């Protein structure tokens, strides 16, 4: 029985031609288009020249006033250009990125809208952000607070922003948290809750900018706003009681200061008035005493010159001062120096003011 045998292929025979490739098909299609347009031979070079010129002109680009141009050559950053009209080698040799450098962005941290680390500010954090231990900060007097703040920033150098750090927004978030923790750790809790908030925000801004400049992140911090600072929820009621007590203390101190400001000026004015009155009385007494001394010396000098006359005048002055207030009249009966006075004349009645008689006398009566 004969076994069937298969024919052995002839290895010396030529192989079949391969199927036409992509380049061949593109060349054939291009040749067909040129042939239909009547461009044969020299026309192909003209079309190629136009295509080459268009490719070279595609490297012209414009950077807007709010942008910076970052030129990449084979994927490597080679130059950063300012706004205006520029040229780079055509794609795919070079290309340009134009990020917005005047647009102010914001990153909110510490509150319910805080972004989770590693999300570059695009995805909100899961869970209670205010109960997260990473949001709790220790103050200078070893108290715990939770701060909510917003960081406003923009791109300062587009090349550094795109290529110096792996994730600029995540780096900004971590640096902002670190700077705020460090700054609040230098202040007591009362300062962080009341009158030092703006000072804390400004210091955190400066610290954050120093960190980003050290990293060459290409980010400029324009403002840090400290929106809210609270103690943890577990102790917030007790803390509010302390705050109210401090407010009452401050109110009582202000009332006492107001009372002092009202009483002290009046007391000082009264003391000044009494001092002035005492000074005036002193001047008056001293002047009167000096006048009496001068009068005594004058009388004494006169007495030395005429003793009898001066003694008699002094006697008369003394008796005049003594008797002018008396209701009795004493007449020297010897007649010395007095004459023509009737002894029974009512001199005491004559000294008194007489009542008007016209009121008691009827009209027309004889007087």
Alpha-carbon distance of 148 to 129, in angstroms, equals 10
Same domain? 114 vs 82 = no
pLDDT of residue 280: 93
Which of the two residues, 61 and 340, has the higher pLDDT score?
A: 61
3-state secondary structure of 173: helix
201 and 226, same domain (yes or no): yes
Same domain for 270 and 292, yes or no, is yes
Where residue 37 falls among pLDDT bands split at 50, 70, 90? low
| Domain end call among 97, 124, 157 | 97
On whether the CB atoms of residues 198 and 142 are closer than 8 A, the answer is no
> Are 66 and 53 in a shared domain?
no
Cα–Cα distance between 340 and 346 in angstroms, integer?
14
Percent of the chain with pLDDT over 90: 16
Three-class SS of 83-141 = CEEEECCCCCCEEEECCECCCCEEEEECCCCCECCCCCCCCECCCCCCCCHHHEEECCC
Residue 321 lies in a domain: no
Judge whether 123 lies within some domain.
Answer: yes
- pLDDT score, position 253: 93
In terms of domains, do 117 and 198 share one?
yes
Q: What is the mean pLDDT of residues 311-330?
A: 78
Instruction: Answer yes or no: is 348 within a domain.
Output: no
pLDDT recorded at residue 332: 62
Paired with 63 in beta bridges are 84
Strand, coil or helix: what is 73?
A: strand
What's the pLDDT tens digit per position in 76-104? Answer: 777 777 776 767 777 777 777 777 878 88
Q: How far is CA 55 from CA 36, 134, 155, 184, in A?
A: 24, 54, 32, 58
| Residue 152 located in a structural domain | yes
When pLDDT is cut at 50, 70 and 90, the band that residue 276 belongs to is: very high
Q: What is the predicted pLDDT for the residue at 254?
A: 93
Which residue would you say has higher pLDDT here, 220 or 94? 220
* pLDDT for position 116: 38
- The answer on pLDDT for 274 being more than 90 is yes
Nearest to 168 by CA among 117, 218, 99, 225: 218
Tell me what pLDDT residue 19 has. Answer: 44
Query: Does 284 lie in the same domain as 214?
Result: no
**187 occurs within a structural domain:** yes
Same-domain check for residues 166 and 150 = yes
Q: Which two tokens stand for residue 165?
A: 């750090």
Lowest mean pLDDT among 41-45, 115-119, 140-144, 199-203: 115-119
Number of domains in the chain: 4
- Expressed as residue numbers, the domain containing 33 is 29-57
Q: Same domain, yes or no, for 45 and 68?
A: no
The predicted pLDDT at position 268 comes to 92
Between residues 99 and 264, the one the model is more confident about = 264
Both 74 and 165 in one domain: the answer is: no
State the pLDDT at residue 9.
40
Distance CA 107, CA 84 (A): 30
Q: Is 182 domain-assigned?
A: yes
**What is the longest distance spanned by two Cα atoms in the chain?**
217
Residue 296 lies in a domain: yes
Residue 355 lies in a domain: no
Quote the pTM value. Answer: 0.50
Q: What is the model's pLDDT at position 31?
A: 62
Q: Tell me what pLDDT residue 72 has.
A: 80
């Amino acid at each position: 029985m004969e076994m069937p045998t298969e024919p052995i292929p002839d290895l010396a025979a030529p192989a079949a031609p391969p199927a036409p490739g992509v380049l061949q098909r593109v060349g054939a299609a291009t040749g067909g288009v040129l042939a239909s347009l009547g461009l044969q031979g020299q026309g192909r070079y003209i079309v190629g020249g136009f295509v080459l010129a268009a490719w070279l002109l595609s490297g012209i680009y414009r950077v807007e006033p709010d942008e910076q141009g970052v030129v990449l050559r084979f994927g490597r950053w080679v130059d950063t250009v300012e706004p205006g009209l520029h040229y780079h080698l055509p794609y795919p040799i070079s290309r340009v990125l134009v990020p917005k450098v005047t647009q102010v962005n914001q990153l909110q941290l510490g509150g319910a809208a805080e972004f989770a680390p590693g999300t570059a500010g695009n995805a909100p954090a899961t869970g209670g952000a205010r109960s997260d231990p990473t949001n709790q900060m220790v103050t200078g007097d070893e108290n715990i607070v939770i701060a909510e703040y917003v960081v406003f920033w923009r791109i300062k150098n587009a090349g550094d922003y795109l290529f110096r750090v792996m994730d600029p927004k995540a780096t900004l978030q971590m640096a902002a948290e670190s700077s705020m923790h460090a700054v609040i750790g230098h202040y007591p809790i009362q300062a962080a809750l009341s009158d030092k908030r703006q000072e804390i925000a400004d210091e955190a801004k400066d610290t954050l900018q120093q960190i980003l400049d050290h990293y060459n992140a290409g980010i400029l911090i324009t403002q840090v706003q400290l929106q809210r600072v609270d103690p943890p929820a577990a102790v917030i009621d007790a803390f509010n009681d302390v705050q109210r007590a401090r407010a009452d203390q401050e109110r009582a101190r202000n009332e006492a200061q107001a009372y002092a400001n009202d009483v002290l000026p009046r007391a000082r004015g009264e003391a000044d008035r009494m001092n002035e009155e005492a000074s005036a009385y002193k001047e008056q007494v001293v002047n009167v005493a000096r006048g009496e001394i001068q009068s005594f010396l004058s009388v004494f000098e006169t007495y030395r010159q005429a003793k009898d006359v001066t003694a008699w005048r002094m006697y008369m002055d003394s008796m005049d001062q003594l008797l002018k207030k008396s209701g009795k009249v004493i007449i020297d009966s010897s007649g010395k120096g007095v004459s023509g006075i009737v002894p029974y004349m009512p001199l005491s009645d004559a000294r008194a003011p007489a009542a008007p008689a016209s009121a008691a006398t009827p009209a027309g009566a004889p007087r």
